[in-house]
A and B are shown apart, each in its own frame.
Chain A
Amino acid sequence: MRNLIIKLHIYAGLLTFTQLMIFGFAGLAATVQTAAERPKNPHTIRHQSFTPPPGASDKEVADLVYRELKMPLTRPMPNFAIKRNADKNLQLDFYNINGIYRVIVLERDRILSIEEIRNSLAIFLEDMHAITTGDPEAPRPLRIWAYYNEFAMWCLLAFVVSGIYLWLSAQARTWWAWGSLAAGVIGFGALWMGFR
C-alpha cells in the first residue's frame, strides 16, 4: 500500500510539476506587488481612422471596434465594462491574458487611439495560475489550460492527504515535523482569528 501511494505521489507531482511551480511563483509575485492596482503603462500607442455610425449606441460602437480590430484572445465588451474617460471619450478596455488593448474612440477626430498595455511575465504567470474551468467562453488555449489547472488543484489536495499518510506510515517519525506542523497550524489559526 505504502509503495503504491509513494508512486502515485511522485507521478502526480511530476505530471503537474509546472502548474505547482506556477502556483508558488504566483504567490511570490503577489507578495512583491506594491499596490492592489496593476501598472497600466502602454508600450505602444497607435491610431486608426474610424467613423462611428451616426445614432449608434456605445455598445454598438464597442462591438464594431471589436470586430474591426480583431484583437487576439479578447472577447466582445460587456455592457458593464463600457465607460467614458475624463475627456468624455468612449474608453474600451479589451482584456486578455497578456494585458489590455485600451481603445479610446475620438469621435470628433474620427480616429481610434489604441494603447497596448502588456503585463509583465510575473503578472502573466499570476493570471495563468488563476484560470479556472468556470469560464466556458474563454478562448480554447485558456480552456485547455484551465482543465490542467483543475487537475493540478485536485492533485494539490491529494498531495496533502498522501503526504500525511506517507509521513505517518514512515518508520522514522521525527518530533520536529510535529513541531513544524504545529507552528503552521498555530500561525494560520492565529491569523484567521486575528482577521475575524
Chain B
Amino acid sequence: MYQAIRNIHLLLASFSLPFLVMYGVSAVQMSHNTWSTMKPAVQERDFPMQGGQSDARAVARDVMDKEPSIKGEITNVQMTAAGISLRIVVPGTVHEVKYDSKSGNAHVRTSVAGVMGMLNRLHHWAGFYHEPAPMKLWAAAVAIVSAAVLLLGASGLYMWFTRRPERRIGLALLMLNVGFAVTIMLMLRRQGP
C-alpha cells in the first residue's frame, strides 16, 4: 500500500512540476511586484476596413483575417462615439482594437508580456468558458493540476502517518496549521455581508 501511494505521489508531482513552478514563481512576482519588470512590448498598427460596421464580432473577425497573428478571445466590447472598441486576448497578449465606423480604420495596439507577465497571466487563466480550443486545453490542465495538488496533500498525509519517528512533531505542526487556518477563516467568514 505504502509503495503504491508513494508512486502516485511521485507520478502526480512529476507531471505537475512545470505548472507548480509557474504558480510558485508567479505568486512570488505578485507578492513582490517590485522585484521584476512587467513592462510589455507594445506595437501599434492600422488596418483599413469596410466602414459603417456595427457588429463587434464582425470587426474582430476582419482584423484577424487581415493579420493572422492576431488571434484569441473577444472581450471588453464597447460601443463608442467613434465606433467600436474591443480586445482580442490570449494569455500574455492583448490586442486593443479601436474601430472607427466613419473611416473604416481599425487601430490595433498589441501588448505582449515578457516571461514574468506571461507567468502572471497563466496563473490567472482558468475555466472552460473561454472559447478558443487552446484555452480549453489550458483549463483542463489547470483542473488536473489542482486535483493533483489535493491528492498530493492526501497522499503526503498518508505517507507521513506511516513514519513513526515523525508522527508526534508532525501532528503538532498539522494541528497548529489547521487550528490557525480554521480560526482565521471562521473569524473572517462570520463577518458580513
Is A86 at the interface (CB under 8 A from chain B)?
A: no
Is the pair A195, B18 in contact by a Cβ cutoff of 8 Å?
A: no
* A17 partner, pick from B11, B174, B191, B192, beta carbons under 8 A: B174
In the complex, the answer to whether A24 meets B128 with C-beta atoms within 8 Å is no
Chain A proximity mask over B117-152: 1 for CB below 8 Å, otherwise 0: 010001000111100001001110111011111101
Q: Is B170 within 8 A of A72, CB to CB?
A: no
A81 on the interface (CB 8 Å rule)?
no
A17-B177, A101-B192, A148-B180 known; A132 vs B146 contact (CB < 8 Å): no
Dominant secondary structure of chain A at its interface with chain B: helix
**Interface secondary structure of B, over-half rule:** helix
Other A-B pairs beyond A20-B153, A32-B127, A128-B185, 17, CB < 8 Å: A10-B166, A11-B170, A14-B160, A15-B176, A17-B178, A18-B182, A31-B139, A133-B31, A134-B33, A156-B24, A160-B21, A164-B17, A177-B14, A180-B10, A184-B18, A191-B137, A196-B92
A: which residues have CB within 8 A of B?
7, 10-11, 13-28, 30-36, 43-44, 71-73, 96-101, 116-118, 124, 128, 132-134, 141-142, 144-145, 148, 150, 153-154, 156-157, 159-160, 163-164, 167, 174, 176-178, 180-181, 183-185, 187-189, 191-192, 194-196
Please report B residues at the A interface, Cβ cutoff 8 Å.
Answer: 7, 10-11, 13-25, 27-28, 30-33, 75, 90-93, 118, 122, 126-129, 134, 137-139, 141-143, 145-150, 152-153, 156-157, 159-160, 163, 166, 169-170, 173-174, 176-178, 180-182, 184-185, 187-189, 191-193
A-B contact pairs, 9 of them (CB 8 A): A23-B23, A96-B193, A134-B32, A144-B184, A154-B28, A157-B21, A157-B25, A180-B15, A195-B92
